[in-house]
């Protein structure tokens, strides 16, 4: 009799275990929660006014943080921006609102930029460049620009493709160079504003060489830091 009861208990235990396993097998598997880093989406912090520095929003992105005065869309169209790259480069920019290719910030393909400015009463000091994109993209997203030195009124086209930069007076030549260079290579993601800053640096090298030799030139540079280029001009 006792043996029979023991067998019945063991059978019930097995059935209970099978039932439990069946429930777990049929239950949907829960994916582990995604760990979201602070850089997966922009982190925005409001900066209160201090001295001559007006109140504004500071936006943190991978490799760069941006001071937007007063903010970025959808909150507001910025009057101007200051980009701070992790390599120490600073880029001041003011969209050219009112021009045909800068209706608002989200549709702006023309801006005034100053690379690594010094500051006087919170105003940027340095060479100002007017930058217009030649590929239809926004200023900070473009890989091909027309850059004009606002002091000398000299212009150049600057293009970037797969680790190499080109600057020259002829748009077709520069765009062809970038197309050939990148035809078989994949582009890599770089922090916002890095290309624009490097374009300004190469444009400055082009303007210096052009002024010294007073003739059309072509400058080439391998990828380097956003504010320093090792240009070869000929």
**For the whole model, what pTM was predicted?**
0.78
DSSP 3-state assignment of 150?
coil
Coil vs helix vs strand at 13: helix
Q: What is the pLDDT of residue 131?
A: 98
pLDDT of 103: 95
187 vs 158 pLDDT, higher one = 158
Q: pLDDT-derived band of residue 42, with 50, 70 and 90 as boundaries?
A: confident
Please report, for the chain, the start and end positions of each structural domain, with discontinuous segments joined by +: 43-233
For residues 147 and 174, is the Cβ–Cβ distance under 8 A? no
Burial of 47 (0-12, 13-18, 19+ CB in 10 A): middle
pLDDT of 38 reads: 37
- What's the whole-number average pLDDT of the chain? 82
* Residue with the two structure tokens 């980009």: 83
3-state secondary structure of 204: helix
Residues 26 and 19 sit within 8 Å (Cβ to Cβ): no
Mean local confidence (pLDDT), 20-37: 39
Q: Which residues of 162-179 are buried (b: 16+ CB within 10 A; e: fewer)?
A: eebbbbbbeeeebbebbe
CA distance 221 to 233: 9
Q: Which residues pair with 67 in a beta bridge?
A: 58, 82
Which residues, other chains included, contact 86 with Cβ-Cβ below 8 Å and sequence gap of 6+? 63, 64, 191
Which tens digit of pLDDT belongs to each residue from 162-175?
778 999 999 999 99
Torsion of CA 113, 204, 156, 220, to 10 degrees: -130
| Whole-number pLDDT of residue 13 | 41
Specify the pLDDT at position 130.
98
Band of pLDDT at residue 60, cut at 50, 70 and 90: very high
Between CA 178 and CA 182 the distance in angstroms is 6
| Residue 106 pLDDT | 95
Predicted confidence band at 224 (pLDDT cuts at 50, 70, 90)? Answer: low
How much is the pLDDT for 164? 85
Helix (H) / strand (E) containing 190: none
């Amino acid at each position: 009799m006792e043996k029979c009861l023991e067998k019945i208990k063991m059978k019930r235990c097995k059935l209970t275990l099978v039932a439990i396993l069946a429930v777990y097998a049929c239950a949907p598997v829960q994916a582990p929660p995604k760990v979201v880093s602070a850089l997966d989406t922009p982190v925005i912090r409001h900066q209160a006014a201090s001295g001559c520095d007006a109140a504004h929003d500071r936006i943190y992105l991978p490799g760069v943080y941006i001071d937007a005065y007063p903010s970025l869309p959808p909150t507001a169209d910025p009057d101007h921006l200051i980009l701070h790259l992790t390599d120490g480069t600073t880029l001041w920019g003011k969209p050219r609102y009112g021009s045909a290719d800068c209706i608002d910030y989200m549709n702006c393909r023309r801006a005034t930029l100053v690379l690594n400015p010094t500051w006087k009463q919170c105003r940027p000091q340095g060479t100002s460049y007017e930058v217009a994109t030649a590929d239809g993209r926004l200023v900070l997203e473009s890989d091909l620009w027309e850059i004009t030195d606002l002091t000398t009124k000299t212009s150049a086209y600057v293009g970037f493709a797969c680790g190499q930069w080109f600057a020259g007076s002829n748009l077709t030549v520069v765009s062809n160079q970038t197309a050939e260079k990148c035809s078989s290579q994949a582009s890599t993601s770089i922090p916002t504003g890095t290309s624009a800053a490097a374009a300004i640096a190469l444009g400055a090298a082009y303007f210096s060489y052009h002024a010294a030799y007073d003739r059309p030139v072509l400058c080439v540079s391998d990828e380097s830091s956003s504010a320093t280029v090792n240009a070869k001009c000929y």
